[in-house]
Structure 1
């Protein structure tokens, strides 16, 4: 993938979602084919990107958790507690390195490093501006109702 997609946003490109097997490969850290690149950018920049990241991290941890539960000797509750502790620790580290992991996925999809952060920040600025306009309009309506009740 020689071209750099730094200037392209996900809005103009068609989003092709990967199928279940491709998504599992992606969740486990694999690189998706180029046709899914706009979806990868969307996946790492949408409002639910944190939840999506946590779901991928959970899927990644199911492999070692399953091995602990199946292969370690001892009572099941001990293996279960070990697996639960590993899950908590893994999720902690996953949250700690969430932005870096998202940028790595975007880089694998052919975008330059920093693209996901820039897209999320721009979306936040847009949402903030829209919320500001909405709040001003609501305040103006409340002021008009107040003036109306006061007889002005």
Structure 2
């Protein structure tokens, strides 16, 4: 069963770095540990960047091409920082939800444990058959 998701306004608050009520605790772990967790992290970063970009685009004087170029470069730098700090940011979200440090990584490891075990068995079988020759 999937955990209860927050509504759009609570998700926006969460994307901006705010904490969620305890009833969304399992969803926060789910968000930080499922297959596309990095993609979701970039989506949250893009929301943060867009909320800053829109007023800059509308209020800063100058040619539109200069404003758009500056926003594009700023967004690329912002997404680069999001990439550099993805683990720390996700761990901070997990701690805000009341989980111990490392809970998200442990959940991701448990999710892929069977796949890793099967891959390790195939790897070992390949080398054992290669050494028997």
Q: TM-score range by the shorter chain?
A: 0.7 to 0.9
Partner SS state of residue 112, structure 2:
helix
The structure carrying a bigger helix percent of its residues is: 2
Partner SS state of residue 74, structure 1:
coil
Tell me the TM-score normalized by structure 2.
0.85
Q: Does 1:114 align with 2:102?
A: yes
Q: Report the counterpart of residue 15 of structure 2 in structure 1.
A: 27
The runs of 5 or more residues in structure 2 that have no matched partner are 127-133
- Give the CA RMSD over aligned residues: 1.9
- Paired residues in the alignment total 124
Inter-partner Cα distance in structure 1 for 2:74 and 2:13: 22
The runs of 5 or more residues in structure 1 that have no matched partner are 1-10, 140-152
Q: Report the counterpart of residue 103 of structure 1 in structure 2.
A: 91
Inter-partner Cα distance in structure 2 for 1:130 and 1:27: 36
Shift of the alpha carbon at 1:81? 0.4
Q: Report the counterpart of residue 60 of structure 2 in structure 1.
A: 72
Between structure 1 and structure 2, the one with the greater Rg is 1
The one-character-per-residue Cα deviations of 1:105-148 (angstroms, maximum 9, x if unpaired) are 00000001111112112323332124567x69xx9xxxxxxxxx
Inter-partner Cα distance in structure 1 for 2:114 and 2:46: 31
